[in-house]
Amino acid sequence: MPEILNHQQLTAIANEFGTPVYVYHAERIAQQYSKLQSAFKDCNARFFFACKSLTNVNVLRYMNSLGASLDCVSINEVKLGLMAGFKASDILYTPNCVDFDEILAAKELGVHINIDNISILEQFGNKFGNTYPICIRLNPHIMAGGNFKISTGHVDSKFGISIHQMRHIERVVKTTNLNVEGVHMHTGSEIKDINVFVLGLEVMLETVNHFPNLKYIDLGSGFKVPYQPGDPETEVDLLGQKVEQIFKQFEKDSGKKLEVWFEPGKYLVSQAGYFVVKANVIKQTPATVFAGVNSGFNHLIRPMMYESYHHIENISNPGGAERIYTVVGNICETDTFAWDRKLNEVREGDYLVFYNAGAYGFEMSSNFNSRLKPAEVLVKDGKSKLIRRRDEFEDLLRNQVI
Ligand SMILES: *Cc1c(COP(=O)(O)O)cnc(C)c1O
């Protein structure tokens, strides 16, 4: 049974900390982590939490306590990771289109560096040769993912170095004497079809002969979780078996033993997160009934940005008659969380909860419309703790020079 926070617990948190509020459930995160561990128990696997999905330092510390490593896409995420207690050797830095200075800063901090551009590979090789190992992000040219905006492995993608540029990579590696310890791919988010990973792994394995010092193959992430009731979750158990078979065969053929790395974001934290808001107004129009809540796409942008579905429940009136609502926010722009959603009758003042709000929820929030960012609460061992104060008016002015 999945660990859940029930209506009473969420209502109590909303009463205590106010709304809108993001709530994260530690035990649910642990549950997803242990599912991955058991799926890949027969592989030499490591899991790097993709912290761009949720970077609150308290969550990072909790991930560290579970034994996870950390995948970072910016130098600031690296710094947050170190602050949260991760060892540099447990952090992988996977930037894209950053200034070379940022890569130098990551090197100073001693983390694993994943390079995704030949020009950077050259600069790094010229400066450091074989003195600092690196990983290379390849683009295997696999179209995958739930939405074009979150697909990163296709031919038009800015990510990675094309697998067809292997000759060029090899030239740079040879002439600058680079020490390549890993190859990496990440083809997108919300991948249902595990064959995408299998295919990608096969492409990666074909590159192994180019890099004699290889220690790991990083298959990135894109593990899908259910958003709608009945939605599938990526079958990690099946994937674990396939990956194990492929690596076993590879070991037999090549005599080499490699680690396999993954970078789950959404898979670890999405379902552990709840976003609780309050219905400000009910508005009847000739066409629909709007439930207008005290939040907007400035707090949860996924529905407007990716057309994603978040399940919503009215936790204040669970016995109310079911009616059809369009749930909208208070931003002055089209700001729809859900069209034609069946909810127990919503009254002004009721709390609504959005499920699957742990990943890319708070993290993508902004102060658009000069509204304040919500609070974050972590529930662990049955106790609720504030882990980020709600913005105050002063926060809007903090960096303004008047
Ligand atoms: C975003 C990202 C991830 C995490 O993707 P999820 O779909 O949240 O699991 C992993 N690796 C890299 C390089 C990413 O950019």
What gap in Å lies between CA 159 and CA 137, rounded to an integer?
Answer: 8
Task: Assess whether the region 40-266 and the region 273-397 belong to the same CATH fold.
Answer: no
User: Which residue has 């004699």 as its token pair?
Assistant: 212
Hey, which CATH number is domain 40-266, 3.90.1170.50, 3.40.50.11890, 3.20.20.10, 3.50.50.60? 3.20.20.10
- Find the 317 Cα to ligand 1 centroid distance in Å: 37
**Ligand 1 closest atom vs CA 52:** 1
* Ligand 1 contacts CB of residue 52 (under 6 A): yes
Output helix, strand, coil percentages for the chain, rounded to the nearest 5. 35, 25, 40
Residue whose CA is closest, atom 4 of ligand 1?
265
> Which of 55, 69, 137, 189 to probe ligand 1 with, by most ligand atoms within 8 A of CB?
189
Pairing of the two strands 351-355 and 312-314: antiparallel
Query: Which stretches of 298-375 are DSSP H helices?
Result: 302-306
At 372, is the secondary structure helix, strand, or coil? coil
pLDDT tens digit at each of 402 positions of the chain: 889 999 999 999 999 999 999 999 999 999 999 999 999 999 999 999 999 999 999 999 999 999 999 999 999 999 999 999 999 999 999 999 999 999 999 999 999 999 999 999 999 999 999 999 999 999 988 866 555 665 666 777 889 999 999 999 999 999 999 999 999 999 877 888 899 999 999 999 999 999 999 999 999 999 999 999 889 999 999 999 999 999 999 999 999 999 999 999 999 999 999 999 999 999 999 999 999 999 999 999 999 999 999 999 999 999 999 999 999 999 999 999 999 999 999 999 999 999 999 999 999 999 999 999 999 999 999 999 999 999 999 999 999 999
**Ligand 1 closest atom vs CA 266:** 8
Q: Which structure tokens are listed for 238?
A: 């099946």
**Ligand 1 closest atom vs CA 190:** 7
- Kindly list the domain boundaries of the chain, sorted by start residue: 40-266, 273-397
> Which of 263, 270, 363 to probe ligand 1 with, by most ligand atoms within 8 A of CB?
263
Rg of the chain in Å (alpha carbons): 23
* Ligand 1 contacts CB of residue 222 (under 6 A): yes
* Ligand 1 contacts CB of residue 113 (under 6 A): no
What gap in Å lies between CA 152 and CA 143, rounded to an integer?
Answer: 8
Tell me the fold of 273-397.
Lyase, Ornithine Decarboxylase; Chain A, domain 1 (2.40.37)
Residue 51: active-site member: no
Residues 41, 50: contact at Cβ < 8 Å?
A: no
Record the pTM.
Answer: 0.96
